[in-house]
Structure 1
Amino acid sequence: MPAKTDPENAPTASEPPHYLGHRQRLRERFLAAGADALSDYELLEMVLFTAQPRRDMKPLAKALLKKFGSFAEAIHAPEPLLREVDGIGEATITQLRLIAAAASRIAKGELKQRHALSSWQDVITYCRTSMAFAEKEQFRLLFLDKRNQLIADEVQQTGTVDHTPVYPREVIKRALELSATAIILVHNHPSGDPTPSQADIRMTKAIVDIAKPLGIAVHDHIIVGKNGHTSLKGTGLM
């Protein structure tokens, strides 16, 4: 039985050599004018250059955007769905995972260097980068010190596509272990819609009620999705 062909190492003799010059022109435009000078598919092409050095990446980049909708959704796409795209193999999946991880690490680094409450956009950017495109619900806790700087960032629970079990006493127990004086609650809605449910509101109130007598402030509960975010504090729900 013949071995299965790796799509990333398939013969390329029939491909025209035009993409070699195209790659160089993209690199030059990127270096001269920055990422804003490139469209989403062109930036995705550049991401994939090292994964498949001997193939034209434009068709694959366009196929990924057509299937997933945006650059961010493509790099965060679940592995089983990525494998459905013709021309993708292990190297490409690894490269996309690397870019997603790098984006999250950079956003977290920006947040750790700043006063969280005076850099609220950094908080939102980090939360969305880390969680907005996850397949399952995650409940994340940002623990802050008395200067409102980040002590720790932990995913406390991972649930299903529409539910995550959260135990308010465990949340506060962990805050006490870290000597945190404040926390920010974060979770994602894989549906993409960040509208809080009644269960989200009740859970937030339960955590606030336990935290307050112990001198722990709950600054906010942020819900993120690929379509945006909602702040429970900002909407008057806590």
Structure 2
Amino acid sequence: MADNEKTELREKLKADFIANGFDGLSDWQALENAINASLPRCDAKAITDTLREKYFSVENAKKVSALQMIKVDDIHPYAAIYISLLQKIPQRIMLGKNRKIRFLTTTEKMIEYATNMLSLQEVERIAMICLDERKRVINAQFIAKGEESYANASPSQITQIITIYKPKYVIMAHNHICESLEPSHSDVSFTINTRKLIGKLGVELLDHIIVNKSGALSMAQSTDFSFIFNR
């Protein structure tokens, strides 16, 4: 595309965005506008057309690493980095919210903390949150990253974290990519086994929170699963 054509397209995209706002754009139009505004020397339309052909949806494109886009799918490097940042920056912002949450003394705070860690993750991950005797957060980290709908954490890794941070309490949390928050059989087994494992080390499992993009479930507050946490 000639430079004058690129300029005309950029001006048209800008005018359409100003006139109609974000809500008036499709996902692909929004991405084209974003690439156009951030990478003015690139052919935003050509990049967007290539992405649509290869990944079919913006959500699929955001899941692909920048390195794969560049090396395998021949996407412009700056565009690949930009698309990767579209996912990483919101995740970082959500995680940053937890810096203001020091104590997890209520179920509501536990859910808020777990949601900030997990709600924007694109694959299933397991988080382990360690608390001291006052239920102050002393460590929170991801301990497993799985496929799109499955992750598993090893007992040795959990034991190692307990040994390092010496918490009084632990909260486990993981995300579901699907719409359901209902714990699976493996979720229930993992919770029971984790409670037994850390109990032998003198640590109490307070909750296992399941998060998806629309909400969260506390297993400790659930009628069907609260028995796991009752001593």
TM-score (norm 1): 0.66
Q: Distance in 2 between matches of 1:207 and 1:79?
A: 35
Cα distance 1:24–1:174, how it changes in 2: closer, same or farther (>3 A)? same
2:171, 2:205 within 8 Å by CA — same for their partners in 1? yes
- Structure 1: 5+ residue stretches without partners: 1-10
**Counterparts of residues 118-129 of structure 1 (less than 5 Å):** 118-119=108-109, 120-129=111-120
1:139, 1:156 within 8 Å by CA — same for their partners in 2? yes
1:169, 1:210 within 8 Å by CA — same for their partners in 2? no
Q: Shift of residue 94 of structure 1?
A: 0.8
* Equivalent residue in structure 2 for 1:202, among 162, 182, 189: 189
Question: What is the aligned partner in structure 2 of residue 222 from structure 1?
Answer: 209
Other structure's SS at 2:129 match: strand
Q: Distance in 1 between matches of 2:134 and 2:164?
A: 18
Please state if 1:153 is matched with 2:140: yes
Other structure's SS at 2:205 match: strand
* Equivalent residue in structure 1 for 2:62, among 75, 78, 85: 75
Identity %, equivalent residues: 19
Question: What is the aligned partner in structure 1 of residue 169 from structure 2?
Answer: 182
Q: What do you get for the CA RMSD once the two structures are aligned? A: 4.3
Bigger helix fraction: 2
* Equivalent residue in structure 2 for 1:106, among 89, 93, 102: 93
Cα distance 1:213–1:106, how it changes in 2: closer, same or farther (>3 A)? same
Q: Shift of residue 82 of structure 1?
A: 5.7
Moved more, 225-234 or 167-176: 225-234
2:127, 2:172 within 8 Å by CA — same for their partners in 1? yes
Other structure's SS at 1:221 match: strand
Q: Shift of residue 204 of structure 1?
A: 0.5
Cα distance 1:163–1:37, how it changes in 2: closer, same or farther (>3 A)? closer
Q: Which amino acid aligns with 1:107?
A: M
Q: Distance in 1 between matches of 2:144 and 2:48?
A: 35
Q: Distance in 2 between matches of 1:61 and 1:144?
A: 48
Q: Shift of residue 109 of structure 1?
A: 0.9
Please state if 1:94 is matched with 2:81: yes
Cα distance 1:197–1:57, how it changes in 2: closer, same or farther (>3 A)? same
Q: Distance in 1 between matches of 2:77 and 2:91?
A: 21
Q: Distance in 2 between matches of 1:145 and 1:220?
A: 15
Q: Distance in 2 between matches of 1:41 and 1:159?
A: 28
Please state if 1:21 is matched with 2:8: no
1:175, 1:181 within 8 Å by CA — same for their partners in 2? no
